[in-house]
Structure 1
Amino acid sequence: MKRVIVGLSGGVDSSVAAYLLKEQGYEVIGLFMKNWHDDSVTISNECPWLDDSNDAMLVADKLGIPFQTVDLSEQYKERIVDYMFHEYEKGRTPNPDVLCNREIKFDVFMKIALDLGADYVATGHYCRKRTIEKEGENIYQLLAGADANKDQSYFLCQLSQEQLAKSLFPIGELTKPEVREIAAKLDLITADKKDSQGLCFIGKVKLPDFLQQQLKPKEGVIVEIPESNQVYHRSIPRFKNKEDELAYLSEKASYSIADGKVVGKHQGAHYFTKGQRKGLGVGGTVEPLFVIDTDVKDNVIYTGQGKDHPGLYKKVLFVNQEEIHWIREDLKLQVDESMDVMARIRYRQALEKATLHQVDSGLYVEFQELQSAITEGQFVAWYQEDELLGSGVIS
C-alpha cells in the first residue's frame, strides 16, 4: 500500500480527499498544518486555527486514519508574511495563496511528509494531474479542475515537476456540490462548513491592520486624474520592431500631483492596490473612484472615476527573466520565440486570449483585449486548453 499524507485543513474539500484516497486503497495519514497563531489581527473569530484543527481531528477520527499536527508558523512567517510585508513596502501586491502552495504546502510540508515515509502528498484542491510520456521521460501536467466554477489550478501555478510528481488531487474530477454530498453521506462535521475566506491560513484579516504591524501609517494625499489627461491621448509612435512596441505598451503611465486634483487623504499608499474601490473614503464624485496607481515613494494614491477609466487598462504586461516559471519545462520559450495561450492575471478571472513573447530580459504577455488593473506583484498564469503551462510575477 502506498502511503499518502493528506493536508487536512479542517475544511470539506480535504476531508473528502482523505476519504477518497482511503477508498482507493492508500494508507492515509491526516496532517494539520498550524501556520499562524497571532489572533490579534484576525477579524472576530471567523477562522481561528483552533476550530479548524479540531474539525480536522474529528474527520480523521471518523475516517479511522491517524492524525497529527505540525507547527510551521516559523517558516510561514519567514517565507510568506515577511515576503508580503516586503512586497507591499515596494508598492506591489503579492498573492499569498500562490506563495503558500509553493513555499509551504508543497515544500516545507511535503518534505515533512516524505520524511514520514509518504509516497505522495494530497490536498483538497480543485485541479487535476495527468502523466504523459515524452522522449522516454514522465512529464506531469497540471490541469484545471473539472468544476469550472471552482477550478483552483491558478493557485498552483508555481509548482515544479518534482512537486507535481509527489502530489495527488483526489477531488479534481468532482464539483463542489458532489464533494459536499459525499461529506454529508459520511456525516462529516465539515459537510456544511463554509469555505474559509481571507489569507491562506490566517483567516479573515483586516489587511491594513495586518500590514500596520510592520508598515507604519503615514498620511498622504489622494489625487483624482481626469480621463482627459494627455497621458491617455498620446499619439502612438512608430516602432522599429515588435519588442519596442511591447515595451511601450507595457509601460506604466507616470503621474504627478499636478496632473489631477487632491480629493482626499489616506494613511499609507502601501495599504492600497490597483483597481481597489473600497476604503478610499472619498465621496461626492459622479462615479466611484478606483485606484489607478500608487506611489509608495512619495506616498500618493492616484485614482480615476468609474471602472472604465483609461488609467485602469493595459494590453501588455512584463515578467522579469528570473520570475518566469514553467511547469512544463519542455515547452519553455527561447529568445525571440512566441506562443499563443490563454491567460489570467487573477484567480476567478475568465481565461483571455494572449501571446507570450520571450525576449532577453524576460517575457511579454500580450493580451488580445485590454485588461483591467494589471497589478505588479500578482501572478499571470498561462494555459493551453485546460493545462496550466507556467506563470510569472507581474513586474
Structure 2
Amino acid sequence: MARVVVGLSGGVDSSVAAALLLEQGHEVIGMFMRNWHDESVTINNECPWIDDSNDAMLVAEKLGIPFQVIDLSAEYKERIVEYMFAEYQAGRTPNPDVLCNREIKFDIFLDAAMRIGADFVATGHYCRKTETTHPDFGTLYRLLAGKDPNKDQSYFLCQLNQQQLSKALFPIGELLKPEVRDKARELGLVTAEKKDSQGLCFVGKVKLPDFLQQQLQVKPGKVIEIPETVAIEKFNHARRTLNELEASCYEPHYAASEGIPVADHQ
C-alpha cells in the first residue's frame, strides 16, 4: 500500500481522514502545518495554533501513527498574507482559502511530504476526485463535489493543477458530516465533538480591520451612487472592496467600481 502524509489540522475531518486511510492499509504519517501564530489579531484567542497542534498530536497517538509539526509560517506570510494585503489595497476582495490550498497545502506541504517518501498527501476536505485515460494526454484527474452538499469544499480546491491532484487523496469525500463525527466517536478521537474551524485559513476568526491596518494605509473616500449622488461622505477606503456589501448604508449597497473620477456636485 501507499505511504500517505495526512495534513492533521486538529479538527475532526482530517482526524477521520487519517483513520480511514489506516483502515485501508496505508502507511500513514500525521503532519501539522504551523502557518500562523500571531494571536494579536484573533477574536478571543480563537483557533490558537497550539491547541490545534495538541489535538492533532493526541489524534496521532490514538491512531498509533507518527506525528510531526512543520513550520510554514514564513511561506504563509509571503504567499497568502501579503497577497491579501495587496488585493485589499487594490480594492479587490481576495480569496485566501483558494490560494492557501494551491500555494501551501498542495505545493509547499506536498513537497515536504514527498521529501520524506510520501506517495500521496491527504486532507479532510469534503470533495472527491476521479481519473480517466485520454488517448493523447494520458491520465487526467477531475475534481468533484463532496457527497455532503452542505459541506462541499471542491470550490476551495478549484485551482489545483493535474500534478497536484495526482498526489491528493480526499478520504472523507464520500461521507456526510454526521457520519464523520460518528466515526470519530466510534474511535474515541478527542476531536469528535470539536467545532468546525471558521474564519481565515490557518488564522481563524480575525478582527479583519485590525488585521488589515497592520499594513494598509487607510484613506477617506466617497461612495458615489448611480446616478452620481454622494451616498456616504467618508468611509475607510481600505476596508471596502468591489462587490462587498456596504453595511453602513440604510439600504444594501454594492461596490460596482472603484477609483472612477467623478466631479463633485453641490
Give the alignment's TM-score, normalised by structure 1.
0.63
> Which amino acid in structure 2 is aligned with residue 145 of structure 1?
G
- 8 Å CA contact 1:272–1:294 kept in 2: the answer is no
Q: 1:277 aligns with which of 220, 227, 245?
A: 245
Secondary structure of 1:164's aligned partner? helix
Secondary structure of 1:62's aligned partner? helix
Question: What count of residue pairs does the alignment treat as equivalent?
Answer: 260
Provide the residue aligned with 1:292 in structure 2.
255
CA drift at 1:221:
2.7
CA drift at 1:270:
2.6
1:151 aligns with 2:152: yes
What CA distance in whole angstroms lies between the structure 1 residues aligned with 2:258 and 2:168? 41
1:263 aligns with 2:232: yes
Provide the residue aligned with 2:264 in structure 1.
none
- 8 Å CA contact 1:30–1:60 kept in 2: the answer is yes
What CA distance in whole angstroms lies between the structure 1 residues aligned with 2:259 and 2:88? 9
CA drift at 1:297:
7.8
- 8 Å CA contact 1:273–1:293 kept in 2: the answer is no
- 8 Å CA contact 1:8–1:30 kept in 2: the answer is yes
Provide the residue aligned with 1:38 in structure 2.
38
CA drift at 1:186:
1.2
Measured at CA, do residues 208 and 96 of structure 1 come closer, stay the same or move farther in structure 2, by a change above 3 Å? same
Aligned residue runs from structure 1 range 197-276, under 5 A: 197-223=198-224, 225=225, 229=227, 259-267=228-236, 269-276=237-244
1:67 aligns with 2:35: no
- 8 Å CA contact 2:222–2:230 kept in 1: the answer is no
1:20 aligns with 2:24: no
CA drift at 1:209:
1.1
- 8 Å CA contact 1:11–1:56 kept in 2: the answer is yes
Provide the residue aligned with 2:100 in structure 1.
100
Higher Cα Rg, which structure: 1
Identify the structure with the greater strand proportion.
1
CA drift at 1:51:
0.8
Provide the residue aligned with 1:82 in structure 2.
82
- 8 Å CA contact 1:127–1:143 kept in 2: the answer is yes
Measured at CA, do residues 296 and 109 of structure 1 come closer, stay the same or move farther in structure 2, by a change above 3 Å? farther
- 8 Å CA contact 1:90–1:296 kept in 2: the answer is no
| Greater displacement, 86-95 / 157-166 | 86-95
Q: Which runs of 5+ in 1 are unaligned?
A: 230-258, 299-395
Secondary structure of 1:86's aligned partner? helix
Q: Which runs of 5+ in 2 are unaligned?
A: 262-266
Secondary structure of 1:59's aligned partner? helix
What value does the CA root-mean-square deviation take over the aligned residues? 1.6
Deviations 1:227-259 (A, max 9, x none): xx3xxxxxxxxxxxxxxxxxxxxxxxxxxxxx0
CA drift at 1:277:
3.3
What CA distance in whole angstroms lies between the structure 1 residues aligned with 2:150 and 2:186? 23
Aligned residue runs from structure 1 range 265-344, under 5 A: 265-267=234-236, 269-277=237-245, 279-280=247-248, 282=249, 285=250, 288-293=251-256, 295=258
CA drift at 1:39:
1.2
Deviations 1:70-92 (A, max 9, x none): 00000001111111111111111
CA drift at 1:296:
5.2
What CA distance in whole angstroms lies between the structure 1 residues aligned with 2:111 and 2:232? 52
Identity of aligned residues (%): 64
Aligned residue runs from structure 1 range 170-209, under 5 A: 170-209=171-210
Provide the residue aligned with 1:114 in structure 2.
114
Give the alignment's TM-score, normalised by structure 2.
0.93
Secondary structure of 1:114's aligned partner? helix
- 8 Å CA contact 1:127–1:146 kept in 2: the answer is yes
What CA distance in whole angstroms lies between the structure 1 residues aligned with 2:176 and 2:116? 31
> Which amino acid in structure 2 is aligned with residue 103 of structure 1?
E
What CA distance in whole angstroms lies between the structure 2 residues aligned with 1:293 and 1:215? 22
CA drift at 1:279:
4.7
Secondary structure of 1:291's aligned partner? coil
What CA distance in whole angstroms lies between the structure 2 residues aligned with 1:81 and 1:297? 27
Indicate the structure whose relative CO is greater, using CA pairs within 8 Å and at least 6 residues apart: 2
What CA distance in whole angstroms lies between the structure 2 residues aligned with 1:164 and 1:96? 19
What CA distance in whole angstroms lies between the structure 2 residues aligned with 1:297 and 1:274? 13
What CA distance in whole angstroms lies between the structure 2 residues aligned with 1:108 and 1:85? 21
